[in-house]
Structure 1
Amino acid sequence: MIIDIPSTTAGDVGKRLVDLREKHGAVALGRVLTLVVVAEEANAEDAIESANQASHEHPCRIIAVIRGTSRGSARLDAQIRVGGDAGASEVVVLRLFGPLTGHAESVVVPLLLPDNPVVVWWPAESPPVPADDPVGRLAQRRITDAAACKRPIAALHERAESYRPGDTDLAWTRLTLWRALLAAALDQPPHDEITAARVVGGPDNPSADLLAGWLAHTLKVPVTRTKATGVQGLLSVRLDRPSGAIGIERPDDEVATLTVPGRADRRVALPRRSAGDSLAEELRRLDPDEVYGEVIQEGLEELHEFGRITRSKVKVKR
């Protein structure tokens, strides 16, 4: 069910939510958090769909803030989505116009669930310092996505300069399965010391830079980050050691080949994760991600100081 409320106020939207619950049994309680999605009109529906997907694991109130033109008089157009149009959540879409575009927090605050955590997600471009943004200051967790920005690598380094505890980025979340595979492979004998590492990925892939930074910071070895032309995502990682290299190569964004010396190559499922899957993972924790904080602040710097950044044409095996 979708209810349009043009030219309204945040107070009136809140009253409509209460009315839906009392008169129609809609908008059930039991939400665990408020997820605020700050998006542009062009990517708003995709972002809301991803948030709905994540809400099946984390029932929540989704507040989508969409800034329109800043010209003209202040106006708020709202829309309430419940039932099949809202996943396991309730969705409030707020379209801001005129001077109101610069005061989004004023319409968000009255709609926050009382006594529940707040998470803010910018699915594309985000403020230079998310923690200092008026909406970002409302949240315990602030989620960005460098990969969705116009200049992903520049955005990643901006995240490093502006990092505050509670910040995270979906470019990091997309590495969870890669890091788990590498950790599992290193847990198997022989437990040789890693001497060097290499990460291959697209030139503008921030996840590849973060993985290289994580390896440099964790293993304290030289790491080569190869920016491969003709590749968009993360292609491969190799850990060198005296007994032979451990490697993961994913040529098709779905299945990877895990290579461990002395064992037959093994094919493992390693699909590219959707925004909804990555967002659901981030909503599982509301405390600061300390590992991400170390990698974004120290690992990237160590990669550039002690590692190597190379460019090459890489032939992808299919």
Structure 2
Amino acid sequence: MIIDLPSTTTSQLNKKLVELRERGGAVALGRVLTLVIAADDDEHLEDAIDAANEASREHPSRVIVVAKGSKTAAPRIDGQIRVGGDAGASEVIVLRLYGALASNSQSAVVPLLLPDAPIVTWWPGTGPRNPAADQLGELAQRRITDSAAEKNPIRALGTRGKAYTDGDTDLAWTRLTNWRAQLVSALDLPPYEKVLSATVTGEADSPSTELLAGWLAEYLKAPVRRVKSSSAQGILSVTLERRSGPIELSRPDGRVGTLTQPGQPARRIALQRRDNKDCLIEELRRLDPDEIYEAALHGLGKIAATARKTPAGSGAKAASKESTAKAKAPAKAKS
């Protein structure tokens, strides 16, 4: 059910929610959090709402969508309430803000928040430089951005790294969960040797590739090189050099990865790119600070990036050969 309330107020929206609750039995007692979506009123807005609806099946919540319209229009709120099949397991309130209200979104959101429930703010598109200092970010215990949606993803990632506050996270980091799990499980197998160096190859403007390299640099305490590919999408390969030989996880087609390591048969692994629905569901499972993400941000400054760009098909092999040669020549590897 979708109910439109043009030129409305937050008080009228609250009254309508109570009326729907009493008439149709749609209650807020089972909501575990309030999810605030801050976005522009464009063609991508419905995609964000669909992702929130899907996430609500695991995390029942009240979803407040703040869609900023024209700032030159007369101040008004065009409201919309979605319940039932149009809202997943949540209730969705869409606020289209115009005029001065578009720059003062906090005043429109606060009266609609669930009492005594955690608040999560998500920017599915372009987000603020400092999420914790943003109007809607100040309300939240957890703030989710997506560097991949920015015009300059790498610069946005670096800016947010400097402004990091406990509770910040990024969907570019969440997309790495499967990669990190596979690499950790590979290192848990014998021989239990120290990693001498690592090479991460991927798309030049992929924030996930940068974060993966930063994570490895922070925790392996070994040299990590970031090789930029000219045509690959996302991460292409990761190579970890050890005395017994390299561990290599490559994904040339963007869907299926291959893990190779000494003494073990090659394994094919499902490593398809994760969509926003899966990433959002994972992020809503925790509301505490993500110390590992913070460490990965700190590791960004330890990466040795290369200016050379490799073709998508040969990036993994080139990175593996070069890192193998460095492992055989310790004096050069240290530099």
TM range (shorter): over 0.9
Measure, in 2, the Cα distance between the counterparts of 1:311 and 1:77.
51
Indicate conservation of the 8 Å contact 1:229/1:311, yes or no.
Answer: no
TM-score, scaled relative to structure 2: 0.91
Q: How many angstroms does 1:249 deviate by?
A: 0.7
Indicate conservation of the 8 Å contact 1:105/1:134, yes or no.
Answer: yes
Spell out, residue by residue over 1:2-45, the C-alpha distance to the aligned partner (whole angstroms, 9 max, x if none). Answer: 00000000111111111101012234530100000001122211
Q: How many angstroms does 1:308 deviate by?
A: 3.3
Q: Decide whether aligned partners of structure 1 residues 250 and 103 sit closer, same or farther in structure 2, where only a CA change above 3 A counts.
A: same
| Counterpart residue number, 2:19 | 19
| Counterpart residue number, 1:160 | 161
| Counterpart residue number, 1:65 | 66
Q: Decide whether aligned partners of structure 1 residues 287 and 65 sit closer, same or farther in structure 2, where only a CA change above 3 A counts.
A: same
The amino acid across from 2:30 in the alignment is: G
Indicate conservation of the 8 Å contact 1:27/1:90, yes or no.
Answer: no
Q: Does 1:102 align with 2:100?
A: no
| Counterpart residue number, 1:90 | 91
Spell out, residue by residue over 1:188-246, the C-alpha distance to the aligned partner (whole angstroms, 9 max, x if none). Answer: 00011101101111011000000001101100111110110011211110100010111
Measure, in 2, the Cα distance between the counterparts of 1:308 and 1:206.
13
Indicate conservation of the 8 Å contact 2:258/2:268, yes or no.
Answer: yes
Measure, in 1, the Cα distance between the counterparts of 2:254 and 2:179.
12
Measure, in 1, the Cα distance between the counterparts of 2:128 and 2:284.
20
Q: Decide whether aligned partners of structure 1 residues 315 and 153 sit closer, same or farther in structure 2, where only a CA change above 3 A counts.
A: closer
Measure, in 2, the Cα distance between the counterparts of 1:311 and 1:13.
56
| Counterpart residue number, 2:323 | none
Indicate conservation of the 8 Å contact 1:73/1:98, yes or no.
Answer: yes
| Counterpart residue number, 1:148 | 149
The amino acid across from 1:13 in the alignment is: L
Spell out, residue by residue over 1:128-177, the C-alpha distance to the aligned partner (whole angstroms, 9 max, x if none). Answer: 11101111100000000000111101110111111111100000111111
Indicate conservation of the 8 Å contact 1:236/1:250, yes or no.
Answer: yes
List alignment gaps of at least 5 residues for structure 2: 315-335
Indicate conservation of the 8 Å contact 1:201/1:234, yes or no.
Answer: yes
Indicate conservation of the 8 Å contact 2:230/2:312, yes or no.
Answer: no
Task: Specify the SS of the correspondent of 1:138.
Answer: coil
TM-score, scaled relative to structure 1: 0.96
| Counterpart residue number, 2:33 | 33
Q: How many angstroms does 1:183 deviate by?
A: 0.4
The amino acid across from 1:169 in the alignment is: D
Identity of counterpart residues, as a percentage? 57
Within 5 Å, which residues of 2 pair with 1:1-318? 1-42=1-42, 43-296=44-297, 298-303=298-303, 307-316=304-313
List alignment gaps of at least 5 residues for structure 1: none
Spell out, residue by residue over 1:73-129, the C-alpha distance to the aligned partner (whole angstroms, 9 max, x if none). Answer: 210001011111111111110000001001100110011111000000001111111
Which has the higher mean CA deviation after the structures are superposed, 45-54 or 115-124? 45-54
The amino acid across from 2:166 in the alignment is: P
Indicate conservation of the 8 Å contact 2:208/2:235, yes or no.
Answer: yes
Aligned residues: 313
